[in-house]
Structure 1
């Protein structure tokens, strides 16, 4: 494994703090399906980018490290970047966090900001 892959793997596992089972359960929820960017058509139809990413994250987390592909590492790097950027943009009020679209979007990407 290259040094870059080792760093991405570590960063990904730091960013994704939900188990595959917890993420799958969340992805089945109405809140998960409701949030996120669903394409340029402006109609909000179809699966959001984050929801699709969540399904891929579950697949990656269930694979053995030795079986991960370059495409998996590229997606893992994308997840790390999204989580870092989105965490920096929290809701205005602390009490809004638990049931916010901000949190639900992050959870689609495998990160629950309320989990320590």
Structure 2
């Protein structure tokens, strides 16, 4: 059983991974894909660090605070990139990223 203190953060990370993956895929289908390049890049990076954070929490890693701290930074950056775009998938992704950043900051402190 995963440490109960990690539950909210793990859930936020999983939701962020899902939102980033949907945003990534949707960005690739946009008319001007070049304009979405940084959003796509951030979606990938954010989903990766969120996955790493989930694993760190599930395995009670000695580095969970540092990993969650970095995850918060990357989620914040991804959210800021996504909110530059008017697409619904970007708005939903930004929301999930900011929520995850908040939960990860709690975990990191």
More helix by share: 2
* Band the TM-score falls in, shorter-chain normalisation: 0.3 to 0.5
TM (normalized to structure 2)? Answer: 0.42
Q: For the pair shown, which has the larger CA radius of gyration, 1 or 2?
A: 1
TM (normalized to structure 1)? Answer: 0.40
